[in-house]
Amino acid sequence: MKKYELRGRDERNGLPAKVEVTSDEIGEAMLESVVKVVHKIQSVLEETPPELTADIGNAGIVLTGGGAKLRGLDTLISKQTKMRVRIAEEPEDCVILGAGRAVQWIDSVKMDAGKENGNVPLTAYY
């Protein structure tokens, strides 16, 4: 069990304060949210078409975002879903890196205006 010193503002009096918490206390405080995430993953998998479920089963689940770094989250999700789970490299940067790639892709796409079928070219705003 690790101990952490947290610093911030005491909401009761507005003054700076520090408090010591344990990893167990942090885990207990987050338990309800983690359970909700796991249940939502299970729910999405249940509603996923079989061909996509097979792909996810082969490739595994990839956790992204800062929450992916929660110790043991990958193991818990793996046990509950019976699927391989891994944490993305630099999980907290995945969204911005993906958005950057999408912008590059959009910039490189040249679409025909589709005069004969009325399609509108892809437009990006950034």
Residue 109 clears pLDDT 80, i.e. is over it: no
Residue 115 clears pLDDT 50, i.e. is over it: no
pLDDT per residue as tens digits for the range 42-75? 999 999 999 898 899 899 999 999 999 998 999 9
What Å distances lie between residue 124 and 17, 49, 103, 111, CA to CA? 46, 30, 8, 12
Q: 63 forms bridges with which residues in the sheet?
A: 87
DSSP 18: E
φ and ψ of 122, to 5 deg: -65, 130
Residue 9 clears pLDDT 90, i.e. is over it: yes
How far apart, in whole angstroms, are the C-alpha atoms of residue 11 and residue 100?
Answer: 38
Amino acid at residue number 122: L
Question: Looking at residues 81-89, what average pLDDT do you find?
Answer: 95
Least Cα distance to 92 among 62, 71, 68 occurs for: 68
pLDDT per residue as tens digits for the range 18-44? 999 998 998 899 999 999 999 999 999
Helices (H) and strands (E) in the chain, counts: 4, 4
